[in-house]
Structure 1
Amino acid sequence: MCTPSPKCSVWNCNNLTCRSRFISRHDRYRTDQLMAITENHDFSVTVERDVPTEMRDGVLLRSDIYRPVGATTCPVLLCRTPYDKAQNTYIQIARALASNGYIAVVQDIRGRGISDGKYFWQFQNNAETFDAQDGYDTVEWAAGIPGSDGQVGTWGHSYPSWCIWRLAGTQPTALKALFASGMSARLLGLNFGIFETGRRLQWTYKMAVNARRRVGDESGPKTEEEADAQWHEVERGKWIWYLPLDDLPDYLFSTLTPLLKTYLREQDKEFWAFQKIHHKVNVPTCQLTGWYDRLVGTMDNFTGMVTEGPESLRNQHRLIIGPWGHNSNNLTRIQGPFDFGPDADTTYPQEVARWYDYSLKGIDNGIASEPPVKLFIMGENRWRFEHEWPLARTEYTEFFLHSGGSANTVRGDGVLSVSEPGNEPPDVFDYDPKDPVMSLMGIDAQAAPRDQSPLNGRQDILVYQTPPLQEDIEVTGPVVLKLWAASNTPDTDFTAKLIDVHPNGLAVNLTYGIMRARYRNGYENPSLIEPGQPYEYAIHLNPTGILFRRGHRIRLDVSSSDFPNFDRNHNTGADFWSDAELRVAHQTVFHNAEYPSRLILPVIPRS
Structure 2
Amino acid sequence: MSIVGQFPRLVVEEPDMGIVMPDGCRLSARVWMPADALADPVPAILEYIPYRKRDGTTPRDEMMHPYLAGHGYACIRVDMRGNGESQGLMEDEYTQSEMDDAVAVIDWLSRQPWCSGTVGMMGKSWGGFNCLQAAYNQSKALKAVISVCATTDRFADDIHFKGGCLLGENFGWGAVMLSYSSRPADPALRADWREDWLARLGAEPWLAPRWAAHQARDDYWKHGSVGQDYTRMQTPVLIWGGWADNYMNTVDHLVRNVPAPCQGIVGPWVHQYPHTAVPGPQVGFLQISLRWWDRWLKGVENGAEHDPAMRAYMIHSAPPDASAAYRAGHWVAEGEWPSPRVAERVLHLGDGVLGDAPQPFRVGVNTAQHLGMHTGEFFPMGLNAEMPGDQRGDDALSVCFDSAPLDAALDLLGAARLRLRLSSDQPLGFVVVRLNDVAPDGSSVRIAHGMLNLCHRDSMENPAHMPVGQEVGVEVVIDQTAYRLAAGHRLRVALSTTYWPFVWPSPKAATVTVTGGALTLPVHSGSTAGWEAPPAEHAPPLALRQIRAPRARRVIEEDMLAGTRALVVETDEGAFENLSHGLVSDETLTERWEVKPDDPLSARARHVWEQKRSRGDWSVRTRAEAEMTATATDLRLWARLTAWEGDVQVFERIWDDTVPRRFV
State the TM bucket, normalised to the shorter chain: 0.7 to 0.9
Within the candidate set 508, 512, 524, 1:587 is matched to 512
Instruction: Give the distance between the partners of 2:69 and 2:393, measured in 1 at CA.
Output: 46
Match for 2:152: what amino acid? A
Instruction: Give the distance between the partners of 2:232 and 2:453, measured in 1 at CA.
Output: 33
User: Secondary structure in 2 aligned to 1:431?
Assistant: coil
Which residue of the partner structure matches residue 237 of structure 2? Answer: 285
User: Secondary structure in 2 aligned to 1:349?
Assistant: helix
- Report the CA distance between 1:297 and its aligned residue: 2.7
Residue ranges of structure 1 left out of the alignment (5+ in a row)? 1-32, 217-252, 404-413, 572-583, 591-595
Q: Does 1:523 align with 2:460?
A: yes
Structure 1 range deviating more: 273-282 or 171-180:
273-282
Call closer, same or farther: CA 1:324–1:444 in 2, change over 3 Å: closer
Structure with greater strand percent: 2
Residue ranges of structure 2 left out of the alignment (5+ in a row)? 187-200, 317-327, 528-664
Matches within 5 A, 1:52-201: 52-70=18-36, 72-86=40-54, 87=57, 88-122=59-93, 128-190=95-157, 191-197=162-168, 199-201=169-171
Matches within 5 A, 1:210-221: 210-213=180-183
Q: Does 1:452 align with 2:391?
A: yes
Tell me, yes or no, if the aligned pair for 1:498 and 1:556 is still in contact at 8 Å: yes
Which residue of the partner structure matches residue 41 of structure 1? Answer: 7
Instruction: Give the distance between the partners of 1:500 and 1:544, measured in 2 at CA.
Output: 13
Instruction: Give the distance between the partners of 1:562 and 1:357, measured in 2 at CA.
Output: 45
Instruction: Give the distance between the partners of 2:91 and 2:229, measured in 1 at CA.
Output: 20
Within the candidate set 265, 275, 289, 1:352 is matched to 289
- Report the CA distance between 1:277 and its aligned residue: 4.5
Match for 1:495: what amino acid? V
Instruction: Give the distance between the partners of 1:395 and 1:329, measured in 2 at CA.
Output: 29
Matches within 5 A, 1:300-379: 300-303=252-255, 305-306=257-258, 309=259, 314=260, 316-328=261-273, 332=277, 335=279, 344-363=281-300, 367-379=304-316
- Report the CA distance between 1:255 and its aligned residue: 5.3
Tell me, yes or no, if the aligned pair for 1:194 and 1:567 is still in contact at 8 Å: yes
Q: Does 1:397 align with 2:345?
A: yes
- Report the CA distance between 1:532 and its aligned residue: 2.5
Call closer, same or farther: CA 1:347–1:82 in 2, change over 3 Å: farther
Q: Does 1:508 align with 2:453?
A: no
Match for 2:213: what amino acid? R
Instruction: Give the distance between the partners of 2:453 and 2:231, measured in 1 at CA.
Output: 32
Which residue of the partner structure matches residue 324 of structure 2? Answer: none
Tell me, yes or no, if the aligned pair for 2:365 and 2:497 is still in contact at 8 Å: no
Which residue of the partner structure matches residue 603 of structure 1? Answer: 523
**Percent identity over paired residues:** 24
The CA deviation string for residues 153-189 of structure 1, in whole angstroms up to 9 with x for no partner, is 1111011111112222332222121111211111233
- Report the CA distance between 1:42 and its aligned residue: 3.1
Structure 1 range deviating more: 391-400 or 177-186:
391-400
- Report the CA distance between 1:263 and its aligned residue: 1.1
Tell me, yes or no, if the aligned pair for 1:473 and 1:547 is still in contact at 8 Å: yes
Which residue of the partner structure matches residue 295 of structure 1? Answer: 247
User: Secondary structure in 1 aligned to 2:366?
Assistant: strand
Tell me, yes or no, if the aligned pair for 1:400 and 1:416 is still in contact at 8 Å: yes
Call closer, same or farther: CA 1:491–1:600 in 2, change over 3 Å: same
Match for 2:411: what amino acid? E
Instruction: Give the distance between the partners of 1:322 and 1:143, measured in 2 at CA.
Output: 33
Which residue of the partner structure matches residue 265 of structure 1? Answer: 213
Structure 1 range deviating more: 186-195 or 437-446:
437-446
Match for 1:201: what amino acid? F
The CA deviation string for residues 172-222 of structure 1, in whole angstroms up to 9 with x for no partner, is 22212111121111123312222221x333333332234323599xxxxxx
Task: Provide TM-score, normalisation by structure 1.
Answer: 0.74
- Report the CA distance between 1:383 and its aligned residue: 1.6
The CA deviation string for residues 567-599 of structure 1, in whole angstroms up to 9 with x for no partner, is 11223xxxxxxxxxxxx3233222xxxxx3111
Structure with greater helix percent: 1
- Report the CA distance between 1:381 and its aligned residue: 1.9
User: Secondary structure in 1 aligned to 2:469?
Assistant: coil
Call closer, same or farther: CA 1:210–1:470 in 2, change over 3 Å: closer
Instruction: Give the distance between the partners of 2:380 and 2:308, measured in 1 at CA.
Output: 34
Call closer, same or farther: CA 1:361–1:79 in 2, change over 3 Å: same
Match for 1:588: what amino acid? T
Tell me, yes or no, if the aligned pair for 2:374 and 2:390 is still in contact at 8 Å: no
Aligned length: 485
Tell me, yes or no, if the aligned pair for 2:50 and 2:83 is still in contact at 8 Å: yes
The CA deviation string for residues 361-419 of structure 1, in whole angstroms up to 9 with x for no partner, is 3446553442322222222822222133332343222111111xxxxxxxxxx211111
Call closer, same or farther: CA 1:570–1:321 in 2, change over 3 Å: same
Instruction: Give the distance between the partners of 1:474 and 1:518, measured in 2 at CA.
Output: 33
Call closer, same or farther: CA 1:194–1:257 in 2, change over 3 Å: farther
Instruction: Give the distance between the partners of 1:37 and 1:536, measured in 2 at CA.
Output: 55
- Report the CA distance between 1:131 and its aligned residue: 2.4
User: Secondary structure in 2 aligned to 1:537?
Assistant: strand
Tell me, yes or no, if the aligned pair for 2:432 and 2:450 is still in contact at 8 Å: yes
Instruction: Give the distance between the partners of 1:209 and 1:254, measured in 2 at CA.
Output: 13
User: Secondary structure in 1 aligned to 2:165?
Assistant: coil
User: Secondary structure in 1 aligned to 2:396?
Assistant: coil
Tell me, yes or no, if the aligned pair for 2:256 and 2:338 is still in contact at 8 Å: no
The CA deviation string for residues 203-260 of structure 1, in whole angstroms up to 9 with x for no partner, is 33332234323599xxxxxxxxxxxxxxxxxxxxxxxxxxxxxxxxxxxx98555432
The CA deviation string for residues 132-170 of structure 1, in whole angstroms up to 9 with x for no partner, is 221111111112334322221111101111111222233
Matches within 5 A, 1:435-474: 435-442=370-377, 448-458=387-397, 461-474=398-411
Which residue of the partner structure matches residue 173 of structure 2? Answer: 203
Q: Does 1:418 align with 2:364?
A: no
Match for 1:605: what amino acid? S
User: Secondary structure in 1 aligned to 2:207?
Assistant: helix
Tell me, yes or no, if the aligned pair for 1:318 and 1:372 is still in contact at 8 Å: yes
| Alignment RMSD | 2.7
Tell me, yes or no, if the aligned pair for 2:378 and 2:502 is still in contact at 8 Å: no
Call closer, same or farther: CA 1:211–1:432 in 2, change over 3 Å: same
Tell me, yes or no, if the aligned pair for 1:208 and 1:254 is still in contact at 8 Å: no
Which residue of the partner structure matches residue 408 of structure 1? Answer: none
Instruction: Give the distance between the partners of 1:305 and 1:481, measured in 2 at CA.
Output: 23
Instruction: Give the distance between the partners of 2:522 and 2:334, measured in 1 at CA.
Output: 15
The CA deviation string for residues 98-153 of structure 1, in whole angstroms up to 9 with x for no partner, is 2333211000112222212231333xxx6x52122211111111123343222211
User: Secondary structure in 1 aligned to 2:151?
Assistant: coil
- Report the CA distance between 1:68 and its aligned residue: 2.9
Instruction: Give the distance between the partners of 1:502 and 1:364, measured in 2 at CA.
Output: 48
Instruction: Give the distance between the partners of 2:133 and 2:97, measured in 1 at CA.
Output: 9
Call closer, same or farther: CA 1:69–1:504 in 2, change over 3 Å: farther
The CA deviation string for residues 252-284 of structure 1, in whole angstroms up to 9 with x for no partner, is x98555432111111322333202343233322
Match for 2:512: what amino acid? Q
Tell me, yes or no, if the aligned pair for 2:83 and 2:185 is still in contact at 8 Å: no
